[in-house]
Structure 1
Amino acid sequence: MSAGLRDAAASERRAPRIGMLGGTFDPVHLGHLRSAVELHEALALDRLHMIPAPQPPLRGRPQVPAKARLALLEAGIGDTPGLYADGRELSRTGPSYSADTLAELRAEYGPEARLVMALGQDAFARLADWHAPERLFALAHIVVVARPGYAPADSPRLRELIGTREVADPETLMQSPGGGLLRVTLPSRMAISATDIRHRLQHGQSVRYLLPEAVERAAVIRRLYQPSAAPSDDRTGE
């Protein structure tokens, strides 16, 4: 191995591996959490920040306010090693964009950190429509998590954005701080629907084994998903 390759390998070993997983988490369910655990393992991450979005511009308004969704996320994560409920986007005024969150994480962990933004295939399919999508790659890697029964073709705009960024495995991805793309299929692939969970809670049906017990208990006790629940006061963000 050349001196340059040895230096690069040593730098990679020293650099922290940090993940960001955003979403509405409305509510957080076992599919979200199991995927987070498996993503943490697959990429050998040191920490995975799970970040509730106040109001993504490309999706409908969440039913429950962001602070309540963050509290459910904290309850769901509990003491799970490596997962962190991060409410940083809730304190912003105005739009909350993923690129801004990545910029904050990059500043916190340093230029050599291996920074990853994970997202599902449905969100990835619309990546070219996001705010400043090129900036995402300038700040971090993007990891696309396959969703059971969903395999859309990349649009021409998305293919142009991807260019030659895609790599085949995590270790190749982690050779640099950012700028790459990796598609992963996680082992469990739990096809749990937050929409179905909300419907069940609204109609008094069982959500046992779809939510962590702490999340189920809090959602039921606080009647968060009942028709009389308070309207969301979330701000617009991505």
Structure 2
Amino acid sequence: MPRSEAGPLGVFGGTFDPIHLGHLRLAEEARERLDLEYVAFIPAGQPPHRDAPHSTAADRLEMVRRATASNPSFIVDDGEVFAAGKSYTVLTLERLRASIGPERPLVLILGADAFQGLPTWHRWREILQLTHLAVGNRPGHALPDGIPRGMASAELDALCNNHRDNDPTSVHQSPAGRIVPFDMTPLAISASQVRALILAGQSARYLLPEPVLQYIGQHHLYQPI
């Protein structure tokens, strides 16, 4: 993990089953809008909020490596893949904070839909003590002025109202504690859509990077058994 103090470190976790262009574009736009030095992609080993992934942790890690290899601002962290137990975000953030020290800003990148589920996360109230949150507005999941009513708990609504900062550069001013929304290009691509196309024998080209598509074909991932 780079230890330069030149800029905030973005953190982008997920199952990445498989990683696709929507993931990469979200990370790139967060990096640019918030002026992040790097974005660390962290594939989940054992995601706690989902069913078992359709491909192994080793395959998902390799696909992320291939997808990000051409971007020098993207790095890959395998800490969750090889950790014992569930892949809880708060534990990963504690590990990263211990690695980079108390002063360098951390920025956890989320879509607005994932942000609305924050109260279901393990030790979720501690997350803003460790990191900023960069919330990308996706189609149908905008975050205009706090949380849309009826879509989140009162606690999350209050959290957003107390910590929201519309200035993307604010993440450079402290190690953690701000919620910064940003608009992202609407790309309605999902991993489940990609898997369904491959399972049906249809083309998933132009939905995910070519090196990932090649890896899926070489290793017969997501295909009928």
TM-score, normalization: structure 2? 0.90
Equivalent residues in 2 for 1:100-119 (5 A)?
100-119=91-110
The alpha carbon displacement at 1:144 in A equals 1.1
Contact 2:45–2:82, Cα closer than 8 Å, also in 1: no
Contact 1:128–1:161, Cα closer than 8 Å, also in 2: no
5+ residue gaps, structure 1: 1-13, 229-238
Q: Secondary structure, in 3 states, of the residue corresponding to 2:222?
A: coil
CA distance in 1, matches of 2:132, 2:221: 35
CA distance in 1, matches of 2:194, 2:53: 13
Identical positions, percent: 42
Matched, 1:205 2:202: yes
Give the residue type in structure 2 aligned to 1:158.
L
Q: Secondary structure, in 3 states, of the residue corresponding to 1:90?
A: coil
CA distance in 2, matches of 1:75, 1:94: 26
Contact 1:15–1:112, Cα closer than 8 Å, also in 2: no
Contact 1:134–1:161, Cα closer than 8 Å, also in 2: no
Q: Secondary structure, in 3 states, of the residue corresponding to 1:31?
A: helix
Residue deviations 1:88-135 (CA, integer Å, cap 9, x gap): 101111222111111111122121101111111221111012111121
Moved more, 115-124 or 146-155: 146-155
1:123 corresponds to? 114
The alpha carbon displacement at 1:15 in A equals 5.1
Tell me the C-alpha RMSD between the 2 structures: 1.5
TM-score, normalization: structure 1? 0.85
Give the residue type in structure 2 aligned to 1:195.
S
2:218 corresponds to? 221
Equivalent residues in 2 for 1:51-66 (5 A)?
51-66=42-57
Matched, 1:133 2:150: no
1:168 corresponds to? 166
2:61 corresponds to? 70
Residue deviations 1:63-102 (CA, integer Å, cap 9, x gap): 1111100101111111212101211101111222111111
Moved more, 70-79 or 144-153: 144-153
Contact 2:21–2:209, Cα closer than 8 Å, also in 1: yes
The alpha carbon displacement at 1:199 in A equals 0.5
1:159 corresponds to? 157
CA distance in 2, matches of 1:119, 1:54: 18
Contact 2:138–2:186, Cα closer than 8 Å, also in 1: yes
Contact 1:15–1:114, Cα closer than 8 Å, also in 2: no
The alpha carbon displacement at 1:214 in A equals 0.5
1:232 corresponds to? none
The alpha carbon displacement at 1:60 in A equals 2.4
Change (3 A) 1:225 1:54: same
5+ residue gaps, structure 2: none
Change (3 A) 1:159 1:149: closer
The alpha carbon displacement at 1:163 in A equals 4.8
Q: Secondary structure, in 3 states, of the residue corresponding to 1:107?
A: helix
Contact 2:48–2:87, Cα closer than 8 Å, also in 1: no
Q: Secondary structure, in 3 states, of the residue corresponding to 1:50?
A: strand
Moved more, 159-168 or 33-42: 159-168
1:235 corresponds to? none
Higher radius of gyration, 1 or 2 = 1
CA distance in 2, matches of 1:143, 1:36: 10
The alpha carbon displacement at 1:179 in A equals 0.8
The alpha carbon displacement at 1:159 in A equals 1.4
Higher relative contact order (CA 8 A, sep 6+): 1
The alpha carbon displacement at 1:206 in A equals 0.6
